[in-house]
Structure 1
Amino acid sequence: MTRSLRTTLAALPLAGLIGLGLAVPAGAEPPGIPDPATAQTQLGELTVAPEGSMDGYDRDKFPHWNEGSDGCSTRESVLKRDGDDVEVGSDCYPTSGSWLSPYDGETWTQPSDLDIDHVVPLAAAWRSGAAQWTQEQRQAFANDLEGPQLIAVTDNVNQEKGDQTPDAWMPPSTDYHCTYASMWIGSKHKYQLTVTEAEKGALQTALDGC
């Protein structure tokens, strides 16, 4: 299936897809997403502080896509978790499946069309407290399969996001803003990272729309 055809199909309503006889992927999400009420409480518990500097930042200080006990990398584990009817080879890499990217509503059948997004980007974490962590703590954050920190999404949407915080970037799909804000808050709360005033305001606006 070409990217242009996938884009066209993704724009069709659910009923249209069913009418075409196509399977609609489940669009799995990471575990540990707080419900809106819990996210509201957690947002109030986050420390508000100006962003720190990028001095000393390097992605290599957040070792990621580690191999787990099952022999699969973190990226491969998220692809298996977030896809529908995913089959993998002996090397854990998906050989078939489909993935619904909740950020933009696009559906993909090739793993190469997907990035694994760090919901709170590594650089944003560095600026909000991770600069003071040990390498082991940063590695745990970058490979967290138990919290709402990793999700499979359309590659160019993730690249557009970069290291921006919610006051500067939110997913193109406005229907997902509530969930995205809840994931962001849940991850920052879990790791006791700070938020800026502007960031907190954007998160509150998203929660108000839940």
Structure 2
Amino acid sequence: MRTRSGARAGMVAALTAVLALGAAGCVPIDEPDTSPSSAGDVNQQLDELTVAVAGSMKGYSRTRFPHWRDTGKNCDVRDSVLQRDGESIKLSGCNVVGGRWESPYDGLALTDPADVDIDHVVPLANAWRSGADEWDDSKRGDFANDLTRPQLVAVSLRSNRAKGDQDPSQWKPPNKAVWCRYAADWVTVKHYWRLTVTSAEKAALTDMLEGCTWATKR
């Protein structure tokens, strides 16, 4: 059981961290709204997704999804996610220059920000093929910098490169312990942004969500 003095110390540490970030000109961000709280909720969202054949990549470019946006003086969305998902963060001004991250996809422990990628849970190219090609660049920028939904997560560079723009029917995190969270996050993002899924993608998500519980976060 956590003692009262321990809780007070934790509150002081948290307040100190917030003040330090504020002094550096950074805007602290909260954990994103995670996936639905029950299997029923997320499965309902999955059922509501439109099933369609993947669209063409014609006209696609990552520059059509402008990122990363500024989140403070000399820092951006990448810095904000690194701060949110890491521990013992070290800053130079507002830039993250050190810390510790555990990549949920493969369990790797990372201490160099250069080894950390910020993954778009629903990849930009996948979004393009599932409806984002019809958006304007401003809306695509909102999607690429979405800190509210569980769309951005700090992962190992290796796992992000292996994933590429593949959907869950083509690639799943090597760490099976996060499959429930990953599938639920994928559904949450696609549902909010009204993106389509392929039949194979929906089948893979259904399998990944079978038997999931929502007692723990990512």
Q: Does 1:175 align with 2:177?
A: yes
Deviation at 1:34, TM superposition (A): 2.4
Contact 1:105 1:173 in 2 (8 A): yes
Give the percent of matched residue pairs that are identical in Structure 1 and Structure 2: 51
- Mapped to 2, the partners of 1:40 and 1:88 lie a distance apart of 40
Aligned residues: 182
SS of 1:198 mapped into structure 2: helix
The one of 38, 41, 45 aligned to 2:48: 45
Q: Does 1:146 align with 2:148?
A: yes
User: Aligned letter for 1:56?
Assistant: G
Structure 1 residue runs of 4 or more that deviate by more than 6 Å after TM superposition: none
Contact 1:30 1:151 in 2 (8 A): no
Deviation at 1:59, TM superposition (A): 0.6
Deviation at 1:159, TM superposition (A): 0.4
Q: Deviations 1:52-92 (Å, cap 9, x if unpaired)?
A: 010110110000111124542111000000001212111x2
RMSD over aligned Cα, in angstroms?
1.4
Counterpart of 1:129 in structure 2 is 131
Contact 1:29 1:151 in 2 (8 A): no
SS of 1:38 mapped into structure 2: helix
SS of 2:83 mapped into structure 1: helix
The one of 106, 109, 119 aligned to 2:108: 106
Q: How does 1:1-210 map to 2 (within 5 A)?
A: 30-35=32-37, 36-69=39-72, 71-90=74-93, 92-210=94-212
- Mapped to 1, the partners of 2:54 and 2:33 lie a distance apart of 27
- Mapped to 2, the partners of 1:29 and 1:112 lie a distance apart of 22
- Mapped to 2, the partners of 1:71 and 1:42 lie a distance apart of 38
Contact 2:89 2:96 in 1 (8 A): yes
- Mapped to 2, the partners of 1:155 and 1:133 lie a distance apart of 29
- Mapped to 1, the partners of 2:73 and 2:149 lie a distance apart of 19
Larger CA deviation: 120-129 vs 100-109 = 100-109
TM-score by length of 2: 0.80
User: Aligned letter for 1:167?
Assistant: S
Pair 169,209 (structure 1): closer, same or farther in 2 beyond 3 Å: farther
- Mapped to 1, the partners of 2:41 and 2:99 lie a distance apart of 33
TM-score by length of 1: 0.83
Q: Deviations 1:2-42 (Å, cap 9, x if unpaired)?
A: xxxxxxxxxxxxxxxxxxxxxxxxxx964332233321111
- Mapped to 2, the partners of 1:151 and 1:200 lie a distance apart of 22
- Mapped to 2, the partners of 1:159 and 1:209 lie a distance apart of 29
List runs of 5+ in structure 1 lacking aligned partners.
1-27
SS of 1:98 mapped into structure 2: strand
SS of 1:68 mapped into structure 2: strand
Deviation at 1:156, TM superposition (A): 0.9
